[in-house]
């Protein structure tokens, strides 16, 4: 047996858990973050995070909330619906961001 079926089954299970806990987060970001944290659990890797949010928010309140959560000020685009910020990231912060009711989608790249 080559293990192919077991690997595919494990991937399906990961996809189910991803949809359950981090449905708004790009799967590639989740995988990349978890691999980096597994290799260096004591470090928080630096990412540039792109967050799409619902229209109609108070951009100054949003900016303040992002600073409080991440320690960095985001760039805000597209009439306040697209935020970009570079900061250290761990699972807990990623979950906190994605759980915000105005967040639609999160993507990110390792820096």
Model confidence pLDDT, tens digit, residues 3-15: 999 999 999 999 9
In a domain, 3, yes or no: no
In a domain, 4, yes or no: no
In a domain, 16, yes or no: no
Q: Report the helix count and the strand count for the chain, using DSSP H and E.
A: 4, 4
**How far does Cα 99 stand from its chain's mean position?**
10
Computed on alpha carbons and rounded to an integer, the radius of gyration of the chain in Å comes to 16
- Boundaries of domain holding 60: 24-110
**Whole-angstrom distance, CA of residue 59 vs CA of residue 39:** 37
**Residue range 46-89, pLDDT digits in tens:** 999 999 999 988 888 989 999 999 999 999 999 999 999 999 99
Q: How many structural domains comprise the chain?
A: 1
In a domain, 28, yes or no: yes
- Check: CB of residue 97 under 8 Å from CB of residue 67: no
CATH of the domain at 92: 3.30.70.920
In a domain, 50, yes or no: yes
Q: Write the Ramachandran bin of 45: left for phi over 0, alpha for psi from -120 to 50, otherwise beta.
A: beta
Q: What pLDDT shows up at residue 1? A: 59
In a domain, 74, yes or no: yes
């Amino acid at each position: 047996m080559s293990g192919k079926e077991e690997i595919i089954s494990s991937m399906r299970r990961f996809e189910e858990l991803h949809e359950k806990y981090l449905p708004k987060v790009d799967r590639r970001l989740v995988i990349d973050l978890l691999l980096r944290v597994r290799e260096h659990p004591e470090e928080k890797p630096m990412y540039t995070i792109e967050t799409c949010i619902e229209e109609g928010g108070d951009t100054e309140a949003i900016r303040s909330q992002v600073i409080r959560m991440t320690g960095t000020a985001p760039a805000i685009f597209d009439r306040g619906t697209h935020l970009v910020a570079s900061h250290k990231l761990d699972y807990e912060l990623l979950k906190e961001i994605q759980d915000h009711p105005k967040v639609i989608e999160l993507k990110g790249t390792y820096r």
